[in-house]
Amino acid sequence: MFSLEHRDAGSKARAGSVMTDHGTIRTPVFMPVGTQGTVKAVQQRELIEIDAQIILSNTYHLALRPGPAVLEQAGGLHRFMQWHRPILTDSGGYQVFSLTELRKIDHDGVTFRSHIDGSRHRFTPAGVIDMQRSIGSDIMMILDECPPADCGYEYARRSHELTLQWAREAREHLERSRPRYDHAQAAFGIVQGNVFEDLRAMSAHGLMELDFDGYAIGGLAVGEPADVMYHITDWVTDILPAERPRYLMGVGTPVNIVESIARGVDMFDCVMPTRNGRNAMVFTREGPLTIKKERYLDDQRPIDEECECTVCRTFTRSYICHLFRAKEILALQLASVHNLAFYLGLTRDARNAILNDQFSVWKDAFIDRYLAEKAE
């Protein structure tokens, strides 16, 4: 499903294509997060306008609400939400393990209580595949255990071993099960092992023996320092096969993303553009702004003067500042669309730089400008 098109001359950055039955994804790529079958405050047709190539949704949330029966009746998530480009679904492992008080892990899976109504549920490696068959995502993630950043070596070792065991069970279940709808479903393994090189290496090699369609790096951006995240990413991408896509889960800031592209990552997702947008933080090429500050109330410029999104071509900082101060829903809509356009533009620019063997120069210029001291 992956074609490696070009390696940047001066870094590990790569440009490629991920082929799915819902279309081809050009990498590096950022995937907007649509946890519950909608990217918060953004319409599907707006995602097309800003050229989102693929979105991410969440097995845990969709399993609880609306549940597999409703999704199956609709003909899968693509038809349910009327999004006809690719969808990747996270396995739900991260969400379940975040419910520290509400879940119990055993050898065969995890039992948890719903954050919505307290009802009891169970995720197993096979069950999570079945749920993703009901969703019909183009790329499914296997169930993993995602330990906290400071869990220590012994916990990390046992956790990685459990994740690898679950990956074997998932692999077997993938062979036994078939897509429910008329399109193929790929599956990615998730490399765990926390901040420990040897565990990460064992995890990556163990998953590679199982031959997944792609490999995710999980358990990063969970509280460790950025340099540790970059180091582990670099370490893992040195092990992973070149001919498979690499997905760094839940990362991150614009700088995190370009630094990780430099270390050979192809795919990203993060709630930051939408969540921060809803909190009035908007991204610009010169760094983020808190657009609801009074200083922007008479600023007649767009959020980012170089941005070509509809929001920047139409509305001033002054108007968007007013909308936030007046607590209007349109504020959330406009900030979310612009921020996603910014992230999508970032990975698009990164790809073009790679194809022109200019990635490192482009990256340094982007970061210098983004982090430069500003008046704000």
Q: Which is nearer to a second copy, 316 or 358 (by Cβ)?
A: 316
Q: How far is the CB of 300 from a second copy (least distance, A)?
A: 7
Which of these is catalytic: 90, 138, 144, 213? 90
Q: How far is the CB of 178 from a second copy (least distance, A)?
A: 24
Active site residue 269: yes
Q: How far is the CB of 218 from a second copy (least distance, A)?
A: 25
77-136 positions binding a second copy, by CB under 8 A: 80-82
Which of these is catalytic: 8, 144, 266, 269? 269
Q: How far is the CB of 58 from a second copy (least distance, A)?
A: 11
Per the CB < 8 A criterion, the answer to whether 266 and 245 are in contact is yes
SS3 172: helix
For the stretch 1-9, contacts whose Cβ atoms lie closer than 8 Å and that sit 24 or more positions apart, written own/partner, are 1/186, 1/213, 1/214, 1/245, 2/213, 2/214, 2/243, 2/244, 2/245, 4/242, 4/243, 5/355, 6/354, 6/355, 7/354, 8/353, 8/354, 8/357, 8/359, 8/360, 9/357
Q: How far is the CB of 167 from a second copy (least distance, A)?
A: 30
Q: Does 41 bind a second copy (CB under 8 A)?
A: yes
Active site residue 138: no
User: Residue 373: CB partners within 8 Å, gap ≥ 6?
Assistant: none
63-82 positions binding a second copy, by CB under 8 A: 65-66, 69-70, 73-74, 80-82
The alpha carbon of 90 is separated from its chain's Cα centroid by a whole number of angstroms, namely 8
Q: How far is the CB of 50 from a second copy (least distance, A)?
A: 14
Token pair 């209580």 in the structure block, residue:
113
Nearest to 32 by CA among 57, 49, 10: 57
343-362 positions binding a second copy, by CB under 8 A: none
Question: What is d(CA 27, CA 86) in angstroms, rounded to the nearest whole number?
Answer: 13
How big is the CA angle at 304 (ends 300 and 310), to the nearest 5 degrees?
90
Q: Does 332 bind a second copy (CB under 8 A)?
A: yes
Per the CB < 8 A criterion, the answer to whether 268 and 30 are in contact is yes
**Angle, helix 153-176 to helix 197-210, in steps of 10 degrees:** 10
Binding map of a second copy across residues 179-218, x = CB under 8 A, - = no contact: ----------------------------------------
Q: Which is nearer to a second copy, 43 or 352 (by Cβ)?
A: 43
Per the CB < 8 A criterion, the answer to whether 89 and 141 are in contact is yes
For a second copy, which residue of 6, 26, 40, 285 counts as binding (CB under 8 A)? 40
Q: Does 333 bind a second copy (CB under 8 A)?
A: yes
Tokens of 106: 């055993």
For a second copy, which residue of 24, 36, 98, 356 counts as binding (CB under 8 A)? 36
Q: How far is the CB of 322 from a second copy (least distance, A)?
A: 4
Token pair 């001919």 in the structure block, residue:
243
User: What number of chain residues touch a second copy (CB under 8 A)?
Assistant: 37
Beta bridge partners of 349: none
Binding map of a second copy across residues 289-328, x = CB under 8 A, - = no contact: --------xx-x---------x---xxx-xx--xx-xx-x
The full length of the chain comes to 376
Backbone φ and ψ of 177, nearest 5°: -105, 165
Binding residues for a second copy, rule: CB under 8 A, are: 36-38, 40-45, 61, 65-66, 69-70, 73-74, 80-82, 297-298, 300, 310, 314-316, 318-319, 322-323, 325-326, 328-330, 332-333
> Residues with catalytic annotation?
90, 269
